[in-house]
């Protein structure tokens, strides 16, 4: 019988020196509090005035706006309660969406100086795997970049 004692978790290992290099290359994979979309007002504004990009199962609503914090983008994620009654499943999907955004957000940050509010909606009916989410996320962000650059040129 193997008994595994709780509370004997391994201490986190010392961070590698690669962090500083990353920062200099603008490859910032963090997702701190100030980059989270929290204002009720702004979210309502997003739904009424925002533009959307839909690449099933992810839908991105975005709006160019001024932000209170000194960041380029504030991002929120939503999974409708209607499609997923279980709180565990909703949490799981939100975490996957955040994770996919976190690892792919340099694509946005390195291509714009303007500030946006983002809201990712999950429209599927099934709990996805991470590769599915990431694939969809990449397509959505690529489309977003094309659109904002297109807008810049036109006027």
Partner RNA sequence: AAAGCAGGCUACCUUAUCGCUCCGGCAGUAGUGUCGGGGAGGAAAGUCCGGACACCACAGUGCAACAUAGCGGGUAACGCCCGUCGUUCCGAACCCGUUUCGGAAAAGGACCAGUGCAACAGAAAGCAAGUACAGUUCGGCUGUAGUGAAAUCGGGUAAACUCUAUGUGGUGAAACGUCAUGUAAAUCGGUGUUCGAGGGCUGCACGCCCGAGCCGAAGGGUAGGCGGUUAGAGCCUUUGGGCAACCAAAGGUCUAGAUAAAUGAUAAGGGUCGGUCUUUUGGGGUCGAAACAGAAUCCGGCUUAUGGCCUGCUAUAUUU
Question: Is residue 87 within the footprint of RNA (CB under 7 A)?
Answer: yes
Among 110, 129, 149, 151, binds RNA (CB under 7 A): 129
DSSP letters, the chain, are: -----TT-PPPPPPPPTHHHHHHHTT------GGGB---HHHHHHHHHH-EEEEETTEEEEEEE---SSS-SEEEEEE--TTT---HHHHHHHHHHHHHHHHHHTHHHHTS--S-EEEEEEE--SSPPPHHHHHHHHHHHHHHHHHHHHHHHH--
Number of residues that bind RNA (CB under 7 A): 46
Question: Is residue 48 within the footprint of RNA (CB under 7 A)?
Answer: no
Question: Is residue 26 within the footprint of RNA (CB under 7 A)?
Answer: no
Instruction: Kindly list the residues in this chain that would bind RNA in the complex (CB under 7 A).
Output: 2, 4, 6-16, 18-19, 29-34, 36-41, 43-44, 70, 76-78, 86-88, 91-92, 94-96, 99, 102-103, 129-130
């Amino acid at each position: 019988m193997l008994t595994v004692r709780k509370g004997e978790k391994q201490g986190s290992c010392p961070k590698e020196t690669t962090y500083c290099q990353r920062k200099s290359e603008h490859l910032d994979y963090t997702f701190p509090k100030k980059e989270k979309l929290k204002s009720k007002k702004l979210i309502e504004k997003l739904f009424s005035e925002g533009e959307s990009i839909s690449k099933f199962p992810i839908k991105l609503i975005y709006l160019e706006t001024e932000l209170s914090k000194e960041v380029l983008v504030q991002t929120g994620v939503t999974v409708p309660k209607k499609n997923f009654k279980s709180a565990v499943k909703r949490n799981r999907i939100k975490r996957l969406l955040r994770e996919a955004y976190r690892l792919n957000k340099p694509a946005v940050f390195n291509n714009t100086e303007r500030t946006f509010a983002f809201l990712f909606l999950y429209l599927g009916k099934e709990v996805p795997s991470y590769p599915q989410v990431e694939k969809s996320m990449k397509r959505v962000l690529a489309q977003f970049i094309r659109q904002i650059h297109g807008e810049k040129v036109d006027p």
